[in-house]
């Protein structure tokens, strides 16, 4: 079983970017924790980060060939991107949406997600735990106990 983790724009700046909102961990720190958990759960995991909408669309289309489930933090594209929404709707591979912050407790423009309705579910507001819970949810989805 293979999980693809997709990080949207500006998440490459985690650790230095608005630490009061997103915490002090870097993307590499979060990916290390995800890799450790994936090893314990005996699944393979791949990471992809892009600041470009079209590149994310292309990677999602490819995921249909090479992955079983997607964990995605579309970041700002959550609130703007019909293209990423349509890519998630077009592929067979299921996706789980995650956010570090609670998007429903922030500015009004963050409270709508284009991608939520084409995801299996959304985990938002738990910092790095959103990703770790998302990975557990992804594994349970593909390998129900
Ligand atoms: C985010 C929330 C988005 O509103 C924001 O644009 C991000 C990060 C989060 O993980 O909390 O870049 O997706």
The pLDDT of residue 144 is 85
Among 70, 47, 74, 51, smallest CA distance to 60 is for 70
What does the pLDDT look like over 38-97, one tens digit per residue? 999 999 999 999 999 999 999 999 999 999 999 999 999 999 999 999 999 999 999 999
Q: Is 103 in the pocket of ligand 1 (CB under 6 A)?
A: yes
Count of beta carbons in the 10 Å neighbourhood of residue 60: 24
Domains (range + CATH), the chain: 1-54+83-98+116-145 (3.40.50.9100)
What does the pLDDT look like over 46-55, one tens digit per residue? 999 999 999 9
Q: Which of 73, 80, 122 to mutate to test the pocket of ligand 1 (most atoms within 8 A of CB)?
A: 73
State the alpha helices, DSSP H only, in 26-91: 27-41, 53-66, 82-90
- Strands of 69-73's sheet, edge to edge? 44-49, 2-7, 69-73, 95-99, 121-124
DSSP 16: T
């Amino acid at each position: 079983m293979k999980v693809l983790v997709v990080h949207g724009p500006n998440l490459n700046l985690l650790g230095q970017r608005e630490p009061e909102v997103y915490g002090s961990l870097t993307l590499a720190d979060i990916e290390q924790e995800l890799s450790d958990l994936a090893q314990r759960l005996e699944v393979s995991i791949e990471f992809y980060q892009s600041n470009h909408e079209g590149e994310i669309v292309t990677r999602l289309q490819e995921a249909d060939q090479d992955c079983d489930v997607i964990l995605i933090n579309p970041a700002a594209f959550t609130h703007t991107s019909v293209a990423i929404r349509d890519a998630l709707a077009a592929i067979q591979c299921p996706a789980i949406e995650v956010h570090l912050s609670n998007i429903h407790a922030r500015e009004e423009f963050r409270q709508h997600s284009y991608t939520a309705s084409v995801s299996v579910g959304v985990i938002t507001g738990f910092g790095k735990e959103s990703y770790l819970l998302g990975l557990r949810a992804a594994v349970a989805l593909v390998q129900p106990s």
